[in-house]
Amino acid sequence: MKIHNYSAGPCILPKSVMEKAAESVVNYQNTGLSIVEMSHRSKEFVAVMEKAVALVRELLHVPLDYEVLFLQGGASMQFYMSALNLLPLNGSAAYINTGTWSSKAIKEAKLLGRIDEVASSKDKNFSYIPKDYAVSQEVSYLHYTTNNTIFGTQFKELPKTNARLVCDMSSDIMSKAIDVTKYDLIYAGAQKNIGPAGATLVIVKKDVLGHTGRVIPSMLDYQIHIEKESMFNTPPCFSIYTAMLTMEWLKELGGVTEIEQRNKAKAELLYQEIDTNPLFRGTAAIDDRSVMNPTFVLEDASLNDSFLHASIDAGISGIKGHRSVGGFRASMYNALELESVQVLVDVMKEFERTRG
């Protein structure tokens, strides 16, 4: 039976990528060495790193005045590291709180300076994206999280501000076209649309660095990682290599503009069923629904286990909702096929036929 992987992360990767990665774990390009054991200073792996960086630049149209880094520590490290590199001593920054990950980013940034939570959707369990808020002209930057994996919401447009933009794009980067020039710093954990867990992508405008007046530890200093071309210490080689393969797959598919249309089609198919099936209800505000992570509940929660078992019987994996929302979450990252969404929709239709 085919497994339809809706895991929120680590998540589904293209089958062809997994096959190439598996071959390289045994013998990388006939070197007799595994990709996980060769030196990161070898010409073979340096070529991998250079190609991964080049693919990020090509797929996202990253200008030359921005640097592309592959680091470690996930987005959770970037919560602190971004503030450490951009927030001046005695400075302030603005944050929009739309869920668990932005809340964590706020917590870490508060260790370094004055943080103004200019907007929050906590009052309704983070089920919507705040629209009405003001950002002071004095803040060093505005930070927000584009897509909220747990609560199923997503920003559909840029926040209205003249401040520098810092953005956590962990769960929707590479899923749609973006204008990198609108941001001063973008960071993203790899384990959604880029590749397996272990690497973290950072895209930073060079001229925003070096102005904080802080002494920054070497491992947390973007400028040092730039100077060392993401190899200040041993990088997560396998994760970067597999990310390179995933980006090659995406390029061959037609790039982010093509995958954006495919992702929209998947979301439309599932949300159509959620909205028309009387047994189910979406949990996020309609205008703010995530294309990546639709969240929904059964009107009769006593049927949860039965629906979960029906899904598992159909080969569906990973749709149980996060405990803070309950119900179900269908994470539909780039590599999930429309066919898999149709299987879930068919299970929902059959569940209505037999339980409705």
Q: Among all residues, which ones are annotated catalytic?
A: 101, 168, 192
Phi, psi (degrees; rounded to nearest 5) at 20: -65, -40
Listed residue (345, 325, 195) closest to 266, CA to CA:
345
206: exposed, middle or buried (C-beta count within 10 Å: 0-12, 13-18, 19+)?
A: middle
Annotate 93-112 with b (16+ C-beta within 10 A) or e (fewer): bbbbbbbbbbbbbbebbeeb
In terms of Cβ atoms closer than 10 Å to its own Cβ (0-12, 13-18, 19+), residue 286 is exposed
Indicate the helix (H) or strand (E) that contains 205. strand 200-205
Q: Which one, of 27, 74, 70, lies nearest residue 235 by Cα?
A: 70
Q: Report in angstroms the alpha-carbon separations of 136 from 92, 164, 192, 343.
A: 10, 12, 33, 48
CA dist list (Å): 344 to 196, 286, 317, 349: 24, 20, 10, 9
